[in-house]
Amino acid sequence: MNLLEKIDAAAAARIALLPNGVGAFGIPIEEVYSATEARIGDRRVLLLGTNNYLGLTFAPECIQAAHDAIDKEGTGTTGSRMANGSYFGHRALEREFADFYQCSSSIVFTTGYQANLGTISGLVGPGDTVLIDGDSHASIYDGCILSGADIIRFKHNDTADMEKRLRRLGNRIETTLIIAEGIYSMLGDQAPLAEIVRLKNQYGCLLLLDEAHSLGVLGETGQGLVEKTGLLQEVDFITGTFSKSLCSIGGFCVSNHPQLEQLRYISHPYIFTASPSPATIASTRAALELLRNGSHLRKQLWNNCTQLYSALKEAGYELGPDPGPVIAAVVDTPQQALLLWQRLLEHNIYVNLILPPAAPEGKSLVRCSVNAAHTRDQIQHVGDTFTKLFKEIN
């Protein structure tokens, strides 16, 4: 088989898994009306599969800031942070993140994906070890591979399993980095952070936590799982993204270790890419301000989360263990998942379809993401529709 034939073979295998599911991925959104509604084909749909947790995609403050930045600084920086791409805004946003997390150092990256790639590959290298959760996001896996470090997985959220693996590392512990996530994007469950911190202190290694899905969502001021658990000072490095609760594009890493600053000189995903555009940085700064002062948004978000989680639970769906903005209905087969996904769309509800191997343990997921802008009635409608469809798919 040549290279192109290999790609064809992989495509055929994917189509064979779910012959009429081809259109389910990358479905085009023709028009966006608000943080909760858009047009898909000729349907006006309720958006229940975005990462817009605080509902800020149309926040007037963010839109105005982006407009002003384009007017003043143009559409793009046309260069790397290392060269001509570090504007006042990039540095201001770094100071604001450092202040938000009460940390001495902070780096802004062009995407959240690159924040993980750049941070992980900057911190560890060949001969070092990363101990990662088995359900880690692809950006974590890719960062580990890029680093050349030895990659050891522990069972998802299982700290007894993690400890076994820590113990086996012996004197390699010194050069080990543990990586976990605040909220996992598949089932919406949270890392057992207190126990992870206890083990990292007992064994003496470093800990990186990706707060991609928990930023803005957990904790009084929205710092994430570190704030909810009161463990901010115990986590060595925090990464996150601007693409979810902050409604733009970009990523960050914060730390109290001054060594973080050195990554600017060695981390390829930081250096060899253009910096975020002025408009992106400006809207992110405005959104971070709203996020920090957004306890009313978090309250609304969590009301919506509990409302939908209980509705789906009551309807009989198998769900992840923790209620939260990511609520995934777990079904046994890809066919069931596709049917549910299609029926929901026919009822003008857009959710995410996740099939193996992306979904854990060979199951398939129909995943909802709740946001603060959803109304009680919208959530009620989604809950009722799921309830109505339960019999049909089982």
Partner 1 sequence: MTESNYDEIMQLLCDRLSSLTNSNAQITPETNLISQLSIDSIKLLNLIMEIEDTFDVSIPINALTDVQTVRELVDLVYKIKTAS
Ligand X SMILES: Cc1ncc(COP(=O)(O)O)c(C=O)c1O
Residue 169 binding target from ligand X, partner 1, none, CB below 5 to 8 Å by type: partner 1
Residue 271 binding target from ligand X, partner 1, none, CB below 5 to 8 Å by type: none
Nearer to partner 1, 6 or 72 (CB): 6
Is residue 139 involved in binding ligand X (CB under 6 A)?
Answer: yes
Alpha carbons 100 and 220: distance in angstroms, whole number: 12
Identified binder of ligand X from the candidate list 251, 320, 325, 334, rule CB under 6 A: 251
Is residue 137 involved in binding ligand X (CB under 6 A)?
Answer: yes
Residue 292 binding target from partner 1, ligand X, none, CB below 5 to 8 Å by type: none
Q: Is 51 helix (H, G, I), strand (E, B) or coil?
A: coil
Nearer to partner 1, 43 or 155 (CB): 155
Nearer to partner 1, 127 or 316 (CB): 127
Q: Of 311, 279, 275, which Cα lies nearest the Cα of 385?
A: 311
Residue 210 binding target from partner 1, ligand X, none, CB below 5 to 8 Å by type: ligand X
Residue 96 binding target from partner 1, ligand X, none, CB below 5 to 8 Å by type: none
Both tokens assigned to 346: 């026919």
Is residue 105 involved in binding ligand X (CB under 6 A)?
Answer: no
Report the DSSP beta bridge partners of residue 353.
Answer: 366
Identified binder of ligand X from the candidate list 52, 116, 229, 300, rule CB under 6 A: 116
Identified binder of ligand X from the candidate list 147, 241, 273, 307, rule CB under 6 A: 241
Nearer to ligand X, 96 or 133 (CB): 133
Minimum CB separation of residue 89 from partner 1 in Å reads 38
Interhelix angle 138-147/112-123, rounded to 10 degrees, is 30
Is residue 277 involved in binding ligand X (CB under 6 A)?
Answer: no
Identified binder of ligand X from the candidate list 77, 185, 267, 378, rule CB under 6 A: 185
Contact 243, 90 (CB under 8 A): no
Nearer to partner 1, 91 or 155 (CB): 155
Nearer to partner 1, 169 or 271 (CB): 169
Q: Is 383 helix (H, G, I), strand (E, B) or coil?
A: helix
Q: Output the residue with the shortest Cβ distance to ligand X.
A: 112
Q: Of 266, 297, 230, which Cα lies nearest the Cα of 56?
A: 297
Interhelix angle 60-73/278-292, rounded to 10 degrees, is 150
Alpha carbons 371 and 130: distance in angstroms, whole number: 33
Alpha carbons 346 and 219: distance in angstroms, whole number: 36
Minimum CB separation of residue 225 from partner 1 in Å reads 24
Is residue 113 involved in binding ligand X (CB under 6 A)?
Answer: yes
| Residue 43-82 contact track with ligand X, rule CB under 6 A, x = bound | ----------------------------------------
H or E element, residue 347: none
DSSP state, residue 275: P
Contacts to partner 1 by CB under 8 A: 129, 134, 144-145, 148-155, 161, 164-165, 168-169, 356-357
Residue 164 binding target from ligand X, partner 1, none, CB below 5 to 8 Å by type: partner 1
Minimum CB separation of residue 202 from ligand X in Å reads 26
Per CB under 6 A, the segment of 141-149, 150-158, 208-216, 372-380 that binds ligand X is 208-216
Encode burial over 264-294: b for 16+ CB neighbours within 10 A, e otherwise: beebebbeebebbbbbbbbbbbbbbebbeeb
- What radius of gyration, in Å, describes the C-alpha atoms of the chain? 21
Nearer to partner 1, 168 or 388 (CB): 168
Angle, vertex CA 36, rays to CA 328 and CA 285, nearest 5: 95
- To which residue do tokens 């990256």 refer? 109
DSSP of 204-220, one letter per residue?
T-EEEEE-TTTTTTSSS
Q: Which residues have CB under 8 Å from 59's CB, separation 6+?
A: 247, 286, 287, 290
Alpha carbons 50 and 35: distance in angstroms, whole number: 9
Residues that bind ligand X (CB under 6 A): 111-113, 116, 137, 139, 181, 185, 210, 212-213, 241, 243, 251
